[in-house]
Amino acid sequence: LNDNPSHYKITLSGTVKSPKINFHPPFLMLMPVPLDVKTETTITIIPQDYLRQSRIQVELPELELEDGDRICPFSIQFPEGQDIVPSSDGTNKELICHISFRSSKPVSFSGNVFFTDKEEN
């Protein structure tokens, strides 16, 4: 450089990986139980390609009963926390999630529970 008219050309290339989460198992079916008895299961959340820390949020469905009442019979617990923390080698630690269901009224449900990160992915 130093007033030298030579030109330098730099070529950069790369691959952009979008963060995503996978689940094991990919779907779940909770066992039928008597009224007001809790049924639960554990799923593993597998984060991939997170370069920054993020926090998992959960949107639980609200169900409408035959009498018009609305309930949220699901509950979620993250016993080891719900933060995705990237490690120095570029991998992300799996998260454990307990999902439980309890209802004092008869109800059946088939639908989605939404997991999002702080970027709303």
- 77: number of Cβ within 10 Å: 13
pTM of the model: 0.78
Maximum distance among all alpha carbons in the chain? 84
Rounded to the nearest 5 degrees, what angle is found at the Cα of 120, between the Cα atoms of 115 and 121? 70
Instruction: Enumerate residues 6+ apart whose C-beta is below 8 A from 49.
Output: 17, 18, 19, 20, 92
Mean pLDDT, residues 3-22: 79
Q: How far apart are CA 109 and CA 28, in angstroms?
A: 12
The whole-number pLDDT of residue 34 equals 94
In tens, the pLDDT along 60-114 reads: 999 888 888 899 999 999 999 999 988 877 788 999 999 999 999 888 888 889 9
